[in-house]
Copies of this chain bind each other. A is one copy, B any other.
Amino acid sequence: MATPTGRIVRTLSERGSLSAVQLARLTGLAKSTVSTALAELKRTEMVVETGTEQTSGAGRPATTLTLNPKAGTCIGVLIGQSELQVIVADVSHSVLWDKSVYLEPGYSEQTAAELVRELITEAYADQWQTPAGLLGVGIAVGAPVNPVNGQILRGGLPNLTGTDIRALLGQLFDVPIFADNESNCSAIAEMTWGAAQGFEDFIVYTLDLGVGGAIVSGGKVLRGIAGGAGEFGHVVIDPAGPVCRCGNRGCLEVYASFSGPLAEAQRHFGRKLRITDVVRMALAGDETCRRLIAQAGEAGGRGLGLIGSVFNPPLVVVSGRLATAGELLMTPLAESFERYSLVKREDVPENARTILRRSTFIDNGACMGAVGLVLRHHGRPLN
| Chain A count of residues within 8 A CB distance of the other chain | 56
Q: What does the 1/0 interface line of A58-96 toward B look like (CB < 8 Å)?
A: 000000000000000000000000000000000000000
A35 in the interface (beta carbon within 8 A):
no
Interface-facing stretch out of A143-151, A186-194, A317-325, A358-366: A143-151
Chain B residues, CB < 8 A from A225? 312-314, 352-354
B231 touches A309 (CB 8 A): yes
**In chain A between 330 and 367, which residues have their CB closer than 8 angstroms to a CB of chain B?**
339-344, 347-349, 351-354
Inter-subunit contact B218/A343 (CB<8 Å): no
Per-residue interface assignment for chain A, residues 125 to 154, with 1 indicating a CB less than 8 Å from any chain B CB and 0 otherwise: 000000000000000000010101101011
The answer to whether B222 touches A342 (Cβ under 8 A) is: no
> Within 8 Å of chain B (Cβ to Cβ): is A229?
yes
Q: How far is the CA of A353 from the CA of B151 in the complex (A)?
A: 14
Q: Which of B151, B312, B344 contacts A229 (CB 8 A)?
A: B312
Q: Specify the main secondary structure of chain A where it touches its partner.
A: loop
Q: Tell whether A235 pairs with B348 under 8 Å between CB atoms, given A218-B218, A343-B226.
A: no
Q: How many copies does the complex hold?
A: 2
Q: How far is the CB of A313 from chain B (nearest CB, A)?
A: 6
A124 interface hit (Cβ, 8 Å): no
Q: Does A305 contact B (CB under 8 A)?
A: yes
Report the minimum CB–CB distance from A335 to chain B (whole Å).
13
Cβ B349 vs Cβ A148 within 8 A: yes
A146 surroundings in chain B (CB, below 8 A): 348, 352
Q: A309 with B235: in contact, given A218-B218, A342-B154, A343-B226 (CB under 8 Å)? A: yes
Do the beta carbons of A348 and B312 come within 8 Å of each other? no
Beta-carbon contacts under 8 Å, A280-315 to B: 302, 305-314
Residue on B nearest A307 in the bound complex, by CB: B310
From residue A248, how far is it (CB to closest CB) to chain B in Å? 7
On chain B, the residues within 8 Å of A307 by CB distance are: 310
Q: Is A380 an interface residue (CB 8 A)?
A: no
**A234 in the interface, Cβ–Cβ < 8 Å?**
yes
Known: A154-B344, A342-B248. A312 touches B227 (CB 8 A): yes
Interface residues of A (CB under 8 A from B): 144, 146, 148-149, 151, 153-155, 162, 201, 215, 217-218, 220, 222-232, 234-237, 239, 246, 248, 302, 305-314, 339-344, 347-349, 351-354
